[in-house]
Structure 1
Amino acid sequence: MTYDPPFRGKSNYDSNFVIVPFSKTYDEALTLLVEARDYLSANRKREQFDVLSDNAIVQFREEMRMTTRLIRAMAWLLSVRAVEAGEIDWEEAVDSDDLMVDIKICIQDERDRCLSTTPALLSLMERAHSLYMRTARMELQVAARHRPAD
């Protein structure tokens, strides 16, 4: 069951994102989180290669980056829902310092160095990257409009 934030009837920026695309993005994030959990849980056969090899380390790092992207995207989408429900303000939803640190980590991409990664995992990584980039753009837009006064 999904929760859709109430539409407040206003169309200005502070009222909400376009509800239907936002809801689809939220559903996509939740689906990807579950898919990543299921995939990583089912494919923990690390004994098939040396865990200290360069390839294994690159793959572990990219799996962690994928997970970080998904968690960060979901956190942002939940913040938007909290704003839409009137639980918090936009200023509380955006932490520019954390956002910039997360962007620095999450935009890095070494999927092409994952030599023994399955096509299914590569697809999951690509979709997580795409989702993260979309949500990061949304958050950057909000951060730009709700900058604290100097």
Structure 2
Amino acid sequence: MGSRRLLVAVAGAALTLTLAGCGGAGTDAAPTPPPVDPAVKPYCDTVVRVQTEQTSPQAGQGGVPAASEVARRQVGDLVASAPPELAGEWRTVQQLTDQALSSLAATRGDPNRIDRAELARLEQQSQPAVARIKDVTSARCHVEFRPPA
């Protein structure tokens, strides 16, 4: 469970999203967010799908290789659907995620061999891109980012 949790945290550090105030979830009196711009709807739909996949009980199953492949696919989907204003940031996150997943693969599943300093460096490097992704995605898709569990 520890290596699964670390993998999900590393691979999903920039991707773990939580819907904020989306209508249709019961009869609460929460304000309904404005509609999503059709130009970014495919991206927003991808964000919601990835968030759902990452929070499912099956997330991280199958070990590091399988979970890494899923994470790469998820980031690739976000890169492919990102609006032009976030394309560069998502490419940066994709490159850093690939590096982090390669570092994890080098451990052959042994959590004692994880280069935590390298992963911390990659996470630090991703912070400017992640901050912009969070801000723009929140504003355009009406989602709120939370840190990985």
Class of the TM-score when normalised by the shorter of the 2 chains: 0.3 to 0.5
Relative CO higher for 1 or 2, CA cutoff 8 Å, sep ≥ 6?
Answer: 2
Give TM-score, length-normalised by structure 1: 0.38
Q: 1 or 2, which has the higher helix percentage?
A: 1
Q: 1 or 2, which has the higher strand percentage?
A: 2
Give TM-score, length-normalised by structure 2: 0.38
Larger radius of gyration: 1
